Structure 1
């Protein structure tokens, strides 16, 4: 099943800095909580074995990944404003209704054609 397009935005403004900072802090807090859990489990679980090394790697390297993941820009998920013409379906439209059926009077201008001689031009005689 194809993913639907994100909803069209009325503006192309980025997210508010306060909202973006809050999202980054939440990501960082979650990652650092996992680090603390890894550290506590590394010390508490005995006898020491391969799992101790896995938890130690998590406790050592998670701060780096927490900073990188928290600072990754979320602009790739932001949608830009789309011109309204692009949001319209690309189907063939019906022929426009005739003027008689809609009750609309349409006026079309054509270039003026004068049959009377013009004598106000310099150098011409009538």
Structure 2
């Protein structure tokens, strides 16, 4: 059973799944874009030298890095937990004073009394 006195802070909640998927997709697309650039530079730059091997390694290993990075969720990131003392109090705020309170008109409805029981009717008056 959860402890109801400890309110959860809104800042300690995880990211929304939609936002997390969007961030992971963006990371994947950027990494794959770098991979395509490495492949093009590997083929296009002449004369071949040591940097050709660096571009080749990028073209070969970046897909693995992109897929692993895209599949890693939020849980793998270490994030300092929020201090629960900073959360909003669970008690309601005090009622406003009458000077700041908005005027409220209250209307109560009830069934009309029968004619014989009405207080404004004279007892001997004809109906």
Task: Name the TM-score class by shorter chain.
Answer: 0.5 to 0.7
Q: Distance in 2 between matches of 1:81 and 1:68?
A: 28
Please, what is the CA RMSD of the aligned residues? 2.5
Q: 1:25 touches 1:70 (CA, 8 Å); kept in 2?
A: yes
Consecutive unaligned residues of structure 2, counting only runs of 5 or more, are 1-7, 87-127
Question: What's the TM-score once normalised by structure 1's chain length?
Answer: 0.54
The corresponding residue for 2:84 is 83
For 1:29-48, what aligned pairs fall within 5 Å after superposition?
A: 29-48=29-48
Residue 15 of structure 1: SS of its match in structure 2?
A: coil
For 1:1-80, what aligned pairs fall within 5 Å after superposition?
A: 9-10=9-10, 12-75=12-75, 76-78=77-79, 80=81
- How much has 1:81 moved relative to structure 2? 4.8
- 1:103-124, CA deviations, whole angstroms, 9 ceiling, x for partnerless residues? xxxxxxxxxxxxxxxxxxxxxx
For 1:104-123, what aligned pairs fall within 5 Å after superposition?
A: none
Q: Distance in 2 between matches of 1:43 and 1:31?
A: 19
Consecutive unaligned residues of structure 1, counting only runs of 5 or more, are 1-7, 88-126
Give the structure, 1 or 2, with the largest relative contact order (CA under 8 Å, sep 6 or more): 2
Is the alpha carbon distance of 1:49 and 1:14 closer, same or farther for their aligned partners in structure 2, counting shifts above 3 Å? Answer: same
Residue 39 of structure 1: SS of its match in structure 2?
A: helix
